[in-house]
Every structure is written in structure tokens, then in C-alpha cells.
Structure 1
């Protein structure tokens, strides 16, 4: 993972790293790997992946986001399965941190209930 991030040349590099930290801080059981040429978070299945080519914001796709409770309305999209969380800057991330971590925890709770 560290090698991927060292090579990641994007104006949103620091923001993507901050989002990464927020996701990993949500629960110590979350792991990360590179899938689809992007950092991907997992716990008993894929939780979310970065869209590394986004340059105007940090974009994190929740693979099965349509299944997750989203009381804060963080997730965008209307597809049957996936949803996207976008973060414009560090302040935006801080405003959305609790909602982001809530989504990760909701995924974990659902997997633990299976």
C-alpha cells in the first residue's frame, strides 16, 4: 500500500491519505489492498475503493453502498448497487468524518450479523 501511495501523483494526494486514515480508524479490522488498480478497503468483502483519477476531490466508491444506512446523506448515486462519497478538501472531510466512519461500521456490523 505504501508503495502505491508513494507513486500516486495527484493534486488530491494529501486528502486521499486523510480519507484513508479516517476509514482505517473506523475499525481496526478493516484491511486494505490494491484491486482494480486502486486502494480498496475490505472486511469480509470489499467495502470501498478510491477512484484515483479524480483530481477535483477525493472520491471513494462504496461497492454495495445502496445497502448501507446513510442517515447523513453522504453517499451519492442512484444505481442499484454502488454509491460514492466525495470529499472536496480537509474541512469537508472533517465535517463528513463521522458519517464516513458510520458507513464503514455499518458494513462491518452487517457482515458480523451474517
Structure 2
């Protein structure tokens, strides 16, 4: 579900990766109607019974999503990178790369929602 605060944030966002960020946002929101968004930590954040992911808005070479508890999301998600206890990131250098990862992003959203529903 798109959020007016995020729409306003996107309108004011001045970054060469704006089109990529907007496209990843569209993919995530289309993945499941229960996924919501808001602005937290001065960036769009996607939520469902907790924080799924937030954009790193200052990245200028690629769009970056921080999956707050990415290590806990069930399934095989080869583009979730990181070695930390919980957090993982996924980067997108272009709209085309975001499209290539659409199925993986949809699987992440589905796994997150299923995990949160079991909690």
C-alpha cells in the first residue's frame, strides 16, 4: 500500500538512482497488498508486522535496500548480502537489474509475511 509521505519523499528525492529506487518500490508494493510503507530513519521503509527493509537514500552508484532482519528470512535469497547476525542488504545498479531480481524480491516479501504470520 503506497503512502502519501513516501510519495512526498520520492518527489523531493534528488539522486541519480531515483528511477531505480522508484522501480524497486513498485516491485515491493506489488508483491503483496499487505506490505505497507512509511518514512522512517529519513527513508522509505517497508513493513508488515515489523520492519522488512529500508532504502539507503544517499547511495549514488546503486539503490540499496537494508533488510533489517534479512538473515532470519527463510529461503534461498542469493542477492541478500552480509555476514551480520540479522541485517542483509541488496543493491540494484539499474532498473533492468531490479527487474531481474523481481522474483527474488517477491519471494522475500512472501517469506517475510509468512514468517511474521507464524510469530
Report the CA distance between 1:70 and its aligned residue: 4.4
Pairwise CA RMSD = 0.9
Q: Give the paired residue count.
A: 114
TM-score (norm 2): 0.92
Q: For 2:48 and 2:116, how far apart are their aligned partners in 1?
A: 8
Instruction: Report the more deviating stretch, 67-76 or 25-34.
Output: 67-76
Report the CA distance between 1:69 and its aligned residue: 2.8
CA offset digits 1:72-111 (Å, max 9, x no partner): 4010110001000111111111111100111111000001
Which runs of structure 1 show a deviation greater than 4 angstroms over 4 or more consecutive aligned residues?
Answer: none
Q: Which residue of 2 aligns with 1:75?
A: 80
Q: For 2:78 and 2:86, how far apart are their aligned partners in 1?
A: 16
TM-score (norm 1): 0.96
- Could you say what secondary structure the match of 2:101 adopts? helix
Contact 2:77 2:108 in 1 (8 A): no
Q: Which residue of 1 aligns with 2:58?
A: 53
Structure 1: 5+ residue runs without aligned partners?
Answer: none
